[in-house]
Amino acid sequence: MEDLKKLRILSRLAVFERDGHMDLEKCIYMASTPKGSVPILKVMQTTMCDKNCIYCTFRRDRDETPRLYVSPDNLAKGFMELYRRGAVKGLFLSSGIFGNPEFTMEKMIDTVKILRERYAFKGYIHLKLMPGASVQTVEEAVRVADRVSINLETSKEERLKRIAKGKSILNDMLPKIELVDKLIKNHKGKSQITQMMVGVGEEKDEEIIKAVHFLNRRYRLSRVYFSAFFPIPGTPLENKPPEDPRREHRLYQVDFLIRHYGFSLEDFQKILLNGNLPLDKDPKEAWALANLDLFPVELNRADYYTLIRIPGIGETTAREIMARRRLKKLTTPEDLRGIRNLRKILNYITLDGKYYGKGSRAMS
């Protein structure tokens, strides 16, 4: 099979290693990177794998998966053809684990070195780290790549052992995340991320949120990705129902609120239902409804950090409101004309002491 055809297949199969939006026609993803949104080729070095994770497309015992391999020389060459045409600006290279983790990582790093040294490619490269790779190999991966990742998959050791025998969070994955954190500390522009599956086991959102909070606080990950489980034919979980994608979205929202809006783990305890976030309401509004004693907020006096806790108000809107009230006191909804989500916002604020939200005579 010709290498370009292999690359197309390997890139299409990489949809199962998702962390961005993919253009199926071109096998190119728009990925969030430290340099902004970048079109990248997301591809695998090989789909051969010795692991037998029960949820995975590439598990050893799945006969339906095409088993392909592209050499470092040919993968780098194929990427550069796309790059020179302006179709891509970066590369995300993943792989099945074939032979052993060291062998697999060596081939991936060889691909990156060819791009860096032979082709003088200075653009964005994301390397996925293989569980079981040595410290020296991880150090080399960090040296040649802009971003690295090792996917935790789930939030507890015992749960991982049930779905992915041979992998260990405590003995392998967390030590690697800690090592990468130390390696990139003094390297501007380098980062690491991880991914957690949602719904592959019986984990609750509360468990996932606590794990993510620990990772962010301890290792300053650039981002944690969530991937809602969907069943793959030919795997032991092929008859398990897919996870509701709204659950993935709610976890992203909570992670963002904790990272950027000053929310704490305790803030979400009141809104959890049997350990899970409500699917029918965004977490900030659910939190507000569970804490009505804090509302309504007087919009003319609220500081920035109070403003961004109001449902409907984000960072941009908070800055816009503060700019407007420097010019004049905000007294009626007319003073907020053009503000996004205004109807929602009015339910949680007063303007110069007057309430214009639901049930207000002033709005009738």
Q: What is the DSSP string of 269-325?
A: GGG-BTTB--SSS-HHHHHHHHTGGG-SEETTT--HHHHTTSTT--HHHHHHHHHHH
Q: What are the residue ranges spanned by the domains of the chain? A: 3-184, 295-363
pLDDT for res 8: 63
| Stretch (H or E) spanning 143 | helix 135-144
- Give yes or no for a contact between 336 and 356, defined as CB atoms under 8 angstroms apart: no
Query: At a CB cut-off of 8 Å and minimum separation 6, what does 269 contact?
Result: none
Percent of residues in the chain assigned helix, strand, coil, to nearest 5: 45, 15, 40
| Stretch (H or E) spanning 221 | none
Radius of gyration of the chain (CA): 24
pLDDT for res 99: 83
CA distances from residue 175 to 219, 254, 308 in whole angstroms, order as listed: 11, 26, 35
Q: What's the pTM value of the predicted model, to 2 decimals?
A: 0.86
pLDDT along the chain (364 residues), means of 10: 58 49 51 75 90 92 88 92 90 91 96 98 95 95 96 91 92 95 89 93 92 90 91 94 95 93 91 95 96 96 96 96 96 96 96 90 50
> d(Cα 340, Cα 335) in Å, to the nearest integer?
13
pLDDT for res 25: 38
Instruction: Supply the angle between the helices 205-219 and 245-260 in degrees, to the nearest 10.
Output: 40
> d(Cα 197, Cα 190) in Å, to the nearest integer?
24
pLDDT for res 21: 38
Half-sphere exposure of 102 (CA within 13 A, CB side): 3
First-to-last alpha carbon distance for the chain, in angstroms, is 70
What superfamily does domain 3-184 belong to in CATH? Aldolase class I (3.20.20.70)
> d(Cα 213, Cα 226) in Å, to the nearest integer?
14
> d(Cα 156, Cα 262) in Å, to the nearest integer?
26
